[in-house]
Structure 1
């Protein structure tokens, strides 16, 4: 385990994204670790001797997506929120965004922080990475909670629906996969683009304030962040291929909690994963859209606490 986090935020290691202001959360410390050649940003706090919980966010967010959940875990857990490669204050490599490659970087980062076994909680693209991480490093995991995400090669549809009632939730997958065009169209308009996702996919359009929109837009706009964010979609076919290949030989045996919401994208995460996992449970969080940690943080913190207690 690492040493205890202090109430005064500070940075250790080298921050590769210096043009993006840091967001500070009381009781948590910023760290950067070398994860097999990619510097990843982690925000760490809670009980150093407690069970470790690793949090991964998705598009178009950063670790800051967990800011309302993290304080509710510090009394019992060693809490680590990690920016994925290309996200937030983590380095933006030129290539290597398939989820098996990314999951190896994430697991290396967790080990570099002195943690050998942990629970993994992940949303959206973070859940893509978490599923692949579980396939590759299951012996290090106590449990995996996946929030509102279709997994490439597993539950992510091959075709984009054309029904307007459903198409607005997934239209961007095809757009993000087109080389170069999104970068051309979105340059200088990152805030409008990010704002659409955060306002439309949350149940309440007032979930995110202007400061949060500014932060997420800046994180995508700075130092190749947009290219890196889109790379997860552009490498989704490779992620899918590697997931399917791994599942030819084994299923997940680690406990999996599927977390859906009343107005999210995936009505039953546990049911969608259960053909490939031997131990799944489900919860549906009421009064929430896609961004469940932002919309119902107390419910997510409680679900994490109960899930880990059941399987610790």
Structure 2
């Protein structure tokens, strides 16, 4: 089935990826919106007229990565968690996974949801997209929070370290770039692969239970999810080129918050992005690995509320 046929079918009411369970979260509604020719899945809750906070997750997760933080945020904000193209119950186009193209689709989805200006919060590959979105649509953003991510062309290293104490955090960048081999090795073993990331990169191996691993593995195994997940890495060079082109026209002026963790991949997110932006602050979340929203959701919410309140007061 072509991308156009898939989108057409979903527009007639087939809103979920075939065979992939749709998880509900109390107080939130599932929505599907057109985003530059594909359909993106969003989970929407909180006061409809309140300030909007848009959440993006990374590999190997879906919007479900934010489930622990969303209820508290929704006490004050309209909260919209969006599955990126290829994630969860969003469409899985066959190409165009560079972060500027994806950012355009995310912005189209936010516009379709009736939001004119918003706070953007993003983790991992979601942060790749968020950085590019800020470069393209800075006027639509009140502020951006980026969690534990190296940004293509900005802070993502060109080479994978060979020191075993560091290599386990980034080895997959090179592996995902190899044509065909990851698909050959991972098809049918998605749960083993996803489980490794979730258990090893979290500070506590008990952060994710079997149901969590099942959910994320099923998303990657369903309807081109593996291909789409790998495509973000395979298009990273194009993402880097477009980021550099955009930064050649000027630095970011939107307020940025870099959220690091005590045991994450990027020791100081604020320092890593500060050369490219004029207004950067940072916070380090203790007792967390890479998956900060899952591991320390209350601390993440506290940091976000403090950031938003500070910027609104200024």
Shift of 1:42: 0.1
> Aligned residue for 1:217?
217
SS of residue matched to 2:281: strand
1:111-126 pair list within 5 angstroms = 111-126=111-126
Residues in 1 aligned to 2:260 and 2:220: alpha-carbon distance in whole angstroms:
26
Name 2:170's counterpart in structure 1: 170
Does residue 200 of the first structure (1) align with residue 204 of the second (2)? no
TM-score, length-scaled by structure 2: 0.95
Structure 2 distance, partners of 1:160, 1:114, is 41
Q: Which residue of 2 aligns with 1:267?
A: 267
Which residue does 1:4 correspond to in 2? none
Once the two structures are superposed, the pairs formed by residues 1-312 of structure 1 within 5 Å of their partners are 14-312=14-312
Count of matched residue pairs: 302
Alpha-carbon distance, 1:225 to partner: 0.2
Structure 1: runs of 5+ lacking an equivalent: 1-10
Partners of 2:200 and 2:169 lie apart in 1 by 9
- How far did 1:14 drift? 4.4
Q: Is contact 2:120-2:130 (8 Å) kept?
A: yes
CA contact (8 A) 1:13 1:33 kept: no
Q: Distance in 1 between matches of 2:166 and 2:254?
A: 32
Q: SS in structure 2 opposite 1:242?
A: helix
Task: Work out the CA distance in 1 between the residues paired with 2:283 and 2:293.
Answer: 14
Residue 5 of structure 2 corresponds to none
C-alpha distance in structure 2 between counterparts of 1:46 and 1:28, whole Å: 7
Structure 1 Cα separation of the partners of residues 86 and 100 of structure 2:
15
Task: Compute the TM-score of the two structures, normalised by the length of structure 1.
Answer: 0.95
Secondary structure of 2:197 counterpart? helix
Residues 1:159 and 1:39: Cα distance change in structure 2 (over 3 Å): same
SS of corresponding position for 2:142: strand
Structure 2, unaligned runs of 5 or more: 1-10
**Alignment check: 8 A CA contact 1:16 1:91 kept:** no
Which contiguous aligned blocks of 4+ residues in structure 1 show a shift greater than 3 angstroms? 11-14
Q: Cα deviation per residue 1:50-102 (whole Å; 9 max; x = unaligned)?
A: 10000000000000000000001111100000000000000000000000000
Q: Deviations over 1:192-211 (max 9, x none)?
A: 00000000000000000000
Q: Using the TM superposition, give the Cα deviation of residue 15 of structure 1 relative to its aligned residue in structure 2, in angstroms.
A: 1.3
Q: Deviations over 1:12-57 (max 9, x none)?
A: 9641513210011000000000101010000000011110000000
Q: Is the 1:12–1:30 contact (alpha carbons within 8 Å) kept by the matching residues of 2? A: no
Say which is worse superposed, 205-214 or 16-25, in terms of deviation.
16-25
RMSD, aligned α-carbons:
1.1
Query: Residue 137 of structure 2 aligns to a residue in which SS?
Result: helix
- Is residue 12–residue 31 contact of structure 1 (8 Å, CA) maintained in 2? no
